[in-house]
Amino acid sequence: MKSLEELQKIKERALQRRKLSGEGSRARVVVAMGTCGIAAGARDTMTAILSELESRSITDVVVTQTGCIGLCEFEPIVQIQVGESDMVTYGKIDVGRVPELIDGHVVGGVPVAKWQVRK
Amino acid sequence: MTVFRDLSQHILDIAENSVTASATLLHIDIDENPVDDQLSIAIGDDGRGMDADMLRHIADPWVTTRTTRKVGLGIPFLKQTAEMCGGTFEITSALGQGTTTRATLQLSHIDRPPLGDLNGTLLCIIVGNPMIDLVYQHKVADRTFVLDTREFREILGPEVSLSDPEVFAFVRGTIGEGLASIGSEALP
């Protein structure tokens, strides 16, 4: 059974990592989680993003969620902001598109133009 | 009008209303009761709440506080699903007092959607809303699983976020073990 002592150790490792690399947050990923998004599969998209970051041991990306942003026909919608650059909005990001999106924009730093939608 | 595959999508959707209402603490209670053949779901928050007029119209699909889209659908969806499955639906709220949404469904009803990916729903709520704490209680017959993210945050402090991959994996594992330990029908 998982215990809070285990979480304490995880915290110490996370702080140690940060001290070694001096890392701030590299990028912010936002998943739209309105009724429209959830119906289109946003929950699976979000857990896939978290798993993708986990499998690549990427620890300096903040993942949050937001409500409906008024582009319901393009759900599931994911927004990515790398560093101080502009936030990019992507449409129809199902689980299958997550690895390429993370690889291209978060890891590579280059927006994935083919899935970009304009607000 | 079944846009959601499982009940945990409904739960995530109702919880989103709490996020919009600026809640800081969310309570989710689930009770799978085979003796009474009933599944109960309650989602309560300490958000800004609704006045009597809004509350009267809340289950009407044409009501929303949102400005990006004109139709609010989440609450009517859950109401319809509950009533279609021999159950009940109720919202209690007052301005400044938060909102609680309760649904019951007949556990064995042929049309009842499964609880489904409850772990995914809880992870989205916990990781996606760093400003909100969740107290989760899930009962199956005489066994109960309780999770309180305030305990996690107390250990993690302000420096380490719940979306840190190792922390995320810990939370996912905790939920999975918890759901399995009480014998929930939900996917661990």
Tell me the pLDDT tens digit for each residue of B125-161.
999 998 899 999 999 999 999 999 999 999 999 888 8
Determine contact, residues B163/B176, Cβ cutoff 8 Å: no
Please list every residue in chain B whose beta carbon sits closer than 8 Å to the beta carbon of residue A6.
170
Q: Is residue B176 part of a domain?
A: yes
Q: Is residue B36 part of a domain?
A: yes
Q: Is residue B187 part of a domain?
A: no
What CATH code is carried by the domain that includes residue A86?
A: 3.40.30.10
C-alpha Rg value of chain B to the nearest Å: 16
For position B42, what pLDDT does the model report? Answer: 98
Q: Is residue B186 part of a domain?
A: no
Q: Is residue B68 part of a domain?
A: yes
d(CA B64, CA B34): 36
Q: Is residue A108 part of a domain?
A: yes
Q: Which segments of A22-119 does DSSP mark as H helices, in order?
A: 35-40, 42-55, 98-101
- Determine the residue among B1, B160, B161 to mutate to test chain A binding: the one whose Cβ has the most chain A Cβ atoms within 10 Å: B160
Q: Is residue B108 part of a domain?
A: yes
For position A86, what pLDDT does the model report? Answer: 93
User: Residue A85: pLDDT band by 50, 70, 90 thresholds?
Assistant: very high
d(CA A64, CA A52): 15
Q: Is residue A100 part of a domain?
A: yes
Q: Nearest 5°: phi and psi at A94?
A: -85, 175
**For chain A, what is the domain count?**
1
Residue in B68, B120, B159 closest to A68 by CB: B68
For position B72, what pLDDT does the model report? Answer: 57
Q: Is residue A62 part of a domain?
A: yes
Q: Is residue A76 part of a domain?
A: yes
Q: Is residue A3 part of a domain?
A: no
User: Nearest CA to B134 among B171, B80, B109?
Assistant: B171
User: Residue B70: pLDDT band by 50, 70, 90 thresholds?
Assistant: very low
Q: Is residue A74 part of a domain?
A: yes
Task: Calculate the average pLDDT of chain A.
Answer: 92
Please list every residue in chain B whose beta carbon sits closer than 8 Å to the beta carbon of residue A53.
165
Flag the least confident range among A53-62, B19-28, B58-67, B95-104: B58-67
Q: Is residue A9 part of a domain?
A: no
User: Residue B1: pLDDT band by 50, 70, 90 thresholds?
Assistant: very low
Q: Do B4 and A38 touch (CB under 8 A)?
A: yes
How confident is the model over B160-170, as pLDDT tens digits? Answer: 888 888 899 99
Please list every residue in chain A whose beta carbon sits closer than 8 Å to the beta carbon of residue B3.
35, 39
Q: Which position has the higher pLDDT, A87 or B74?
A: A87
Task: Calculate the average pLDDT of chain B.
Answer: 91
Q: Is residue A12 part of a domain?
A: no
For position B7, what pLDDT does the model report? Answer: 97
**For chain B, what is the domain count?**
1
Q: Is the pLDDT of residue B47 over 90?
A: yes
Domain that includes residue B137, residue range: 7-181
Domain that includes residue A92, residue range: 22-115
Q: Which position has the higher pLDDT, B143 or A119?
A: B143
What CATH code is carried by the domain that includes residue B164?
A: 3.30.565.10
